[in-house]
Amino acid sequence: MPVRSSQAGQANANLHFPGFYTPIRAHRSSTPCQSQAQGPLARDIMAGVYLTQRISRRSRRCASHLPAVVLLGLGCVLPGWSACIPPSELAAKLKTHQDAATYAELGGWFAHGEDAACAAQAYVLATQKDPESAPYAYLAGLSFYAAGEPHQAIALLQRSIQLDTSAVDPHLVLGETLDQLGRRGDAELQWRLALSLDPHSARSLEGLTRDLLADGNYVRVIDMLKPLEAAHQLSAAAAVDLSVAYTKAGLMDNAFEVLEAANREDPSSIPVIEALAAAMVLQSRYQKASELLAPAASQNPDDTALQIRYLKVLVLSRSPAADPLCKKLLANHPQQGEVLYLMGLLQLQKGDLQSAGFWFQRSLHAAPDNADAYFQLGLVDEERKNTLSAKQAFERAIALGYGDPRVHYELGRAYQALGNHNAAQQQFRLYQQKQLADLNQGRAATASYKADQDQASGNLPQAAADYREALRLDPAEPLLAYRLAMALDKTGDVDGERAALKQALLDDPRMAVAQNQLGYLDSVANRTNGAIAHFRLAVQADPGYTKAWLNLAAALCMDSRWQEARSTLTQLLAIDPNNASARQLLERIGPTATSP
C-alpha cells in the first residue's frame, strides 16, 4: 500500500575534490517575502538566495601565438584550444614515454597551475591511452568543467561513473555541471546518487537543497533538513537553506529559531549572521540587525559584500555611521553600483535632490539593470519637475521588475501631469490592485500563522478554517493550498483534501508532495491508474523523492505490473541503496512474477 509523504534527512560532511581545482562558494542568503513597509532596500538585504559555484582561475599558460598543435610530443590538440607548453622536464619525458601516466602527470602540472584548458587536453590523451581508467576520465571531466566547458565534461564524467560505481566525486562534479547547463532535474539525481554513496556528504546535501529551493520545492527541503535540525547536525549553509524554506513556506518563527540556533552554534559564521540580520530587517528591527552585523563587518574589512550589506542596514536605520562607511567604500570601489546607489539614498535622506540624482545616475551607469535606482531617480526627477524624465525612469523600473506598487502610483501622476489621463487611470488601478494584493498577502500570513497555532493545539477544524481564509486572501500561493490539504487530511475530509491538492497543483504542477498525496488518495480509493499517474508525476518533478518511488512501485504491484515495479525499485535502490522497504518489496515480488 502506498504511503503518505514522510521526513527523511541526510547528514553532513566536508566536500573534497581530489585533483587541483578549488571550488569557491559565493555567498548565499535568503529572500523571504518583503513587507510593504520596508521598500526596495529591505528587499535588497535579502538578495542572493541560492548557493552558486565557480572555479577560480588564473591566466592560462597557453601560447596563443603558436600553431594550434601541442608542442614537444603531445601529438594533437582539441579543437578551439590554444597550444600548451609543458615544462622542459616533462617535454623531455614525453619524447620517450607517451603513455597514460606521463600524460596524466602533465595534466597534473597544468592543473596545479590552474590551467584547466591545457590540463583537459593532457587528461583526454591519458584516457585515450588508458580508456578503462576511471580517475583519468574523472580528471578530464573535472578539467573541462573548471575550464568552463560543461558540455565537454558530461560524457567523461559519466564514463568515470560507469568505470567506478563507488566513487562519489564524479557525481558531485556532474551535478555541478548539469546545474550549470540548467538541467536541475538531472543534477538532483546526481546529488541523490552521491548521498547514497556518502550519506555524510555536505556538498551533495547543499547541491540537492539548492536545486530544490530553485524549484520552489520548499516542503521537500523542510522534510529533508528538519531531522538534521532536530539532531543538531545542521551545517551553517544548511541552516540558512532551511531558514529560506521555512520563510518561503510562511513559517517565519521557525526560520528565526533555525538561524538563532545556528548563530549560537557558530557566532562567526558570516552567512548565518547575514541571514539572521536580513530576517530582522524584514521585521523593521534595524538596530538589532546593525548590532549583529557590526562586529562581523569590523572583523572582515576586506569582505566587500559584507560591508555593503552592513551599509544597507545603516542606511535603513538612518545611522550616522552610514555616511563615513559609504565614503570609505566609494574610495575603494568607485564604480561599485550598489555603493553609488546607497550614496544617492543618503543624499536623498539629507534632502539634497541634485546630489541624489547625480549619484543615482552614476549608479545606473555602473549597474544599468538596477530597478530600485530608476525608481528613486524617478522620484527625484518628479520632485524637480522633470516630469518626462520621471515618467521614463518609472517605466524603466517597471520593465526591470520593480515590485513596489508605489511605482504605478508615481507613474500615474507623471502621466496625469503630461496630460495622458487614460494611461494615468490605468496606472492608478494597477496601484490599487497590487496594493490590495500585498495587503491580502500580509493578512494571509497572519491567518496561516493562526492556523499553525490551532493545529499545534489540536484544534484541527479551526486550523482548516484558518487555512481556508488564508487561501481566500492569497489564492495563488500553492503552499497554502497544500497546508490546507494536510489539515483536512487529519480531519478525514477526503473530498476537501483532494480539492485543495488540485488547487495547489494548478499553481505549481511540480509540487511533488502534492502529487504523491493525490496518488495516495487514489490508491486507497482503488483508483490504481490514477495513483500510478500521480506517483509518476511526483518522481518526474523530484527524481530523488524516494517515498514517491516506493509508492509508485507499490501501485504497480497492485496492478500486477511486476516488471515495471521491479524496474522502479531498481531505480529507487540506485538512489537509496539502503532503503529496506524497497529491498523487501523487491524480494516479495520475486524473480518469477510476470506482467499479464
Q: Is 33 left (phi over 0), alpha (psi -120 to 50) or beta?
A: beta
DSSP codes, 425-436: HHHHHHHHHHHH
> Quick check: is 408 in a domain?
no
- What domain range is 345 assigned to? 302-368
Residue 452 pLDDT: 82
* Segment (H or E) for 400: none
Residue 83 pLDDT: 66
> Quick check: is 350 in a domain?
yes
H runs (alpha helix) in 249-336: 252-265, 270-282, 286-299, 304-316, 322-332
* Structural domain count, the chain: 1
Contact 94, 106 (CB under 8 A): yes
| Rounded CA separation 431/257 (Å) | 35
62-63 vs 23-25, strand pairing mode: unpaired
Cα distances (angstroms) measured from residue 436 to each of 67, 387, 440: 66, 27, 6
Task: Check which CATH number belongs to the domain holding 309 and give it.
Answer: 1.25.40
| Rounded CA separation 355/333 (Å) | 19
Q: CB-based contacts of 420: which residues, under 8 Å, 6+ apart?
A: none
| Rounded CA separation 535/515 (Å) | 6
> Quick check: is 508 in a domain?
no
> Quick check: is 343 in a domain?
yes
> Quick check: is 218 in a domain?
no
* Tens-level pLDDT at each residue, the chain (596 residues): 555 543 333 222 222 222 333 222 222 333 323 333 334 433 332 222 211 222 222 223 332 222 222 333 333 443 334 567 788 888 888 788 888 898 888 888 888 877 888 888 889 989 999 999 999 999 999 999 988 899 989 999 999 999 998 899 999 999 999 999 988 888 888 988 888 888 888 899 999 999 888 888 888 888 889 888 888 888 899 999 999 988 888 788 889 999 999 999 899 999 999 999 988 988 888 999 999 999 999 999 999 999 999 999 999 999 999 999 999 999 999 999 999 999 999 999 999 999 999 999 999 999 999 999 999 999 999 999 999 999 999 999 999 999 899 999 999 999 999 999 999 999 999 999 999 998 888 888 888 888 888 888 889 999 899 989 988 998 888 888 998 999 999 989 999 999 999 999 998 888 889 999 999 999 999 999 999 999 999 998 888 788 999 999 999 998 889 999 999 999 888 878 888 898 899 888 876 554 44
Cα distances (angstroms) measured from residue 110 to each of 130, 416, 422, 455, 587: 19, 65, 65, 60, 50
Contact 109, 52 (CB under 8 A): no
Residue 374 pLDDT: 96
> Quick check: is 327 in a domain?
yes
Sequence letter at residue 474 = D
> Quick check: is 102 in a domain?
no
Q: Using CB atoms within 10 A of its CB, is residue 530 exposed (0-12), middle (13-18) or buried (19+)?
A: middle
> Quick check: is 318 in a domain?
yes
Residue 328 pLDDT: 95
Contact 411, 391 (CB under 8 A): yes
Residue 591 pLDDT: 67
Sign, CA torsion 69/75/79/81 = negative
